[in-house]
Chain A
Amino acid sequence: MKKILLPLLGCFISLSSFQCEKEVLDNTRSVITGLLVDDSGRAINGLSIKITSQHNVLGQSATASNGQFKFTSLRSNRGEFNFEFNGTDINPNYGSITYHYTDSAFLEKYGFGEIVLTRSASLNFKLIKTSQGNSALDFELKYLGTACRYFYENNELQNNESCFPEEVIEESLSDADPNFEIDLIAPMNSIVEFNYQIPGEPVQSLQITLNEPVNNYEFEY
């Protein structure tokens, strides 16, 4: 009998505690306001804003044509939540900003003022083998990501933001798989570093500046 009762009791306790830990506070709402502009000062229209807690979206909206936003959110009960600007449903023309809160009570009002998002540029990068004979190519692409994360603890901004992290792509091309193509997104006017080496030769380096919204680069070897 004990063998049956103890697991049942365990299940009951775990179920009860699961139900007690509510994701969202009862009888509360918050208001979120602000203005989104790009790094040239232009208002950004139709950009998505989400408030998430774990995997739940508590509030979401999009900016108006003048870049302003004002919407209602439910309040997280967890003390850990995110404000994501262009974090999901991403508009590829802009970077993203996430404010990550830990050990923080969800306030009744968040007025973000002016938030500046970096414009993004795309690069269509192609490596095409045109030479005859057996040859290989080792290469790496180094570029900056477009995401920016700020961290808050007890609703206080910490000094450990993480912005525009370096991204690296490394590949080795051979006769079996001689070509390569990728579309990548990086901040506008940033530089993509292309380092390559043909076996037996020194490493070569090229820099590609992303000064247009859409950029193409083709390299033949």
Chain B
Amino acid sequence: MNLNIRTGLLIFLFSLPLTVTGQETVVEEGPAVEKDDHYAYFQFAAYQPLSFGNSFASEGLSAALGVDVHFLTNLFDSPVLIGVFYNQFRSEVTKPELIGNYIQSDISNFGIQLGYQAINHNKWRGTVTAGLGSVAYNNDGAGFSFKDSGTSLQITPSLSYHFTKNIGIFTAIAYRRDFLNIQAPEDFGNFFDSANYLIISLGSRILF
């Protein structure tokens, strides 16, 4: 009896991932649901950061539209995603008396990310990813350049719609925090320690 229960449980547990990520159309009671059979995607997006809080980025820089590239793949047919990302945007210096006398900053960020596929449908996909990256603010002045660097954390919920098996569009609103290594006097408090962004992305996905 115990053996039967254990066998039944094992069969159930092993069949669960197949049910979740199975490639066949699963027919359940009621209307048919087309399960997601994709295992990876590239993502290209327009990327608009909106800085907020009391930091050098929100008080002294004005961010322009940037670009964002992601590659994510499902981990062992599970809803867990793993991947890499790169994004870049430019900010103009608006208040040099607050942050130093330079003109603009090209801000690039690359790293790894983990995610979870929350909505599981072949036409729709809802994901949440958390990324850890290396961020560089490459700053240009009139006749000189220098760099501010640090680490970034980013949490990105996104929703995509797939027109065909391989092409879709998506939108995302992300929260990103850059932790910077800038050495500044205590007078500034946390002003140069970090930068907070709310980021709106809109772009396309190529799915596999």
Residues of A within 8 A of B (CB): 22-31, 33, 51, 55-61, 71-74, 108-109
CA distance A55 to B148 in the complex (A): 22
Query: Would you list which residues of chain B between 83 and 109 have a CB under 8 Å from chain A?
Result: 96-102
CA distance A33 to B186 in the complex (A): 13
12 sampled A-B residue pairs with Cβ under 8 A? A24-B141, A26-B149, A27-B180, A29-B188, A31-B187, A57-B101, A57-B141, A58-B101, A72-B99, A72-B188, A74-B102, A109-B185
Of B96, B102, B148, most buried by chain A (CB within 10 Å of CB) is: B96
Task: Let me know if B192 is at the binding interface, CB within 8 A.
Answer: yes
Q: Is the CB of B184 within 8 A of A31?
A: yes
In the complex, how many angstroms separate the beta carbon of A50 from the nearest chain B beta carbon?
A: 8
Task: Let me know if B142 is at the binding interface, CB within 8 A.
Answer: yes
Task: Let me know if B76 is at the binding interface, CB within 8 A.
Answer: no
Residues of B within 8 A of A (CB): 96-102, 141-149, 180-185, 187-188, 192
Residues of A within 8 A of B183 (CB): 27-29, 108
In the complex, how many angstroms separate the beta carbon of B208 from the nearest chain A beta carbon?
A: 40
In the complex, how many angstroms separate the beta carbon of A204 from the nearest chain B beta carbon?
A: 51
Residues of B within 8 A of A109 (CB): 185, 187
Residues of A within 8 A of B187 (CB): 31, 33, 109
Q: Is the CB of A72 within 8 A of B143?
A: no
Q: Is the CB of A31 within 8 A of B144?
A: no
Q: Is the CB of B99 within 8 A of A23?
A: no
Q: Is the CB of B97 within 8 A of A29?
A: no
In the complex, how many angstroms separate the beta carbon of A11 from the nearest chain B beta carbon?
A: 21
Pick from A28, A31, A55, A59: contact of B101, CB under 8 Å: A59
Q: Is the CB of B180 within 8 A of A72?
A: no
Given contacts A108-B183, A108-B185, A109-B185, is CB(A29)–CB(B99) below 8 Å?
yes
Q: Is the CB of B101 within 8 A of A74?
A: yes
Sorted nearest first, the 4 A-B pairs with minimum C-beta distance are: A23-B144, A24-B146, A74-B100, A29-B184
Given contacts A27-B180, A31-B184, is CB(A71)–CB(B143) below 8 Å?
no
A-B contacts besides A29-B100, A59-B96, A60-B97, 5 pairs, CB < 8 Å: A24-B146, A27-B182, A31-B187, A56-B142, A56-B144
Of B99, B102, B141, B184, most buried by chain A (CB within 10 Å of CB) is: B184
Given contacts A23-B143, A73-B101, A74-B141, is CB(A60)–CB(B96) below 8 Å?
yes
Q: Is the CB of A25 within 8 A of B185?
A: no
In the complex, how many angstroms separate the beta carbon of B144 from the nearest chain A beta carbon?
A: 4
Q: Is the CB of A108 within 8 A of B141?
A: no
Residues of B within 8 A of A73 (CB): 100-101
Given contacts A57-B101, A72-B97, is CB(A29)–CB(B141) below 8 Å?
no
